[in-house]
Amino acid sequence: MIKSTFLQVSTNNQQLSTNQINMLHKQSRQIKHFTVLISLLRDRQNFLEEIRQGMGLQTKTTSLFVSSSIFFAIYGGIIGASHSWAQALSGAIKLPAFYLLTLIICFPTLFFFNVLFGSRSSIQQHFVVLLTAVSVISVLLFSLAPVTLFFIITAPNSYQFFKLLNVLVFGITGAFGVKFLYEGMQLLSQQDEVGKLTRTTILRFWLLLYAFVGMQLGWFLRPFFGAPGTKFELFRAAQGNFYLDIVAAFSEIFGYR
């Protein structure tokens, strides 16, 4: 009887130890993802140099994807919370999807044009450089989340102001992301002198394409935060366009309508 009890206790302790080890491994992986992101922010030149040399590309891809998705989800949940909990959940899913889909749609154009004009960098090197830019945007959005939350609390009925505020936030963070991407692609091109000038021109046009695709996709996936007094909508009917909506928001704020 005593022996049986001892064996049961020993088995339970082993199971507990296994569960604790698994939990520690899971926490360690999560910390590792953010460690990669922090290394990018602290020493981006060295981080990009490692990408150029093909060092740890798979680890970088996974870590940047996971950490940026979390930051995007947090910001998407905050802006959606200005309407309802359902909209917050929708925003937490749609905002990471928005950035990932924009990247997937535009990525082949950049890669194949670069290869056509002399780039010898691999498809994974190109993708990781683009992912670093997206990750920078996610961190900046996360850093501005308290400001957005402040205006949600203090100006709950200022829908048009909140809309324009977020247009400004996404514009500023996007500009920094584009700057980071440009520098990263320039560094990646250093090893391929043939066609470098042409690839630089292609990159500039591609950045415009990326911006237009992003704005159109964002309009298609709206609403990320719903208008006050309206029911929750996962998607809205495709009518009008982003530019007319911004003009209408300015007109309402300054009393022209």
Tokens 């992003």 correspond to what residue? 214
The pLDDT value recorded for residue 128 is 95
> For 227-238, what is the mean pLDDT?
80
137 in Cβ contact with 174 (< 8 Å): yes
- 175-211: pLDDT as tens digits: 999 999 998 888 888 777 778 889 889 999 999 999 9
Q: Which of 159, 177, 176, 133 is nearest to 79 (CA)?
A: 159
> For 47-70, what is the mean pLDDT?
92
Instruction: Point out the least confidently predicted range of 111-120, 138-147, 232-241, 248-257.
Output: 248-257
> For 227-245, what is the mean pLDDT?
75
184 in Cβ contact with 132 (< 8 Å): yes
Q: What is the mean pLDDT of the chain?
A: 84
Q: What is the DSSP string of 98-118?
A: HHHHHHHHHHHHHHHHHHHTT
> For 42-58, what is the mean pLDDT?
90
Question: 238 falls in which pLDDT band (50, 70, 90)?
Answer: low
- 8-42: pLDDT as tens digits: 545 555 554 555 544 444 445 556 778 999 999 89
The pLDDT value recorded for residue 243 is 66
97 in Cβ contact with 72 (< 8 Å): no
Token output for 93 = 């899913």
Q: How far is CA 113 from CA 56, 57, 123, 126, in A?
A: 25, 22, 12, 12
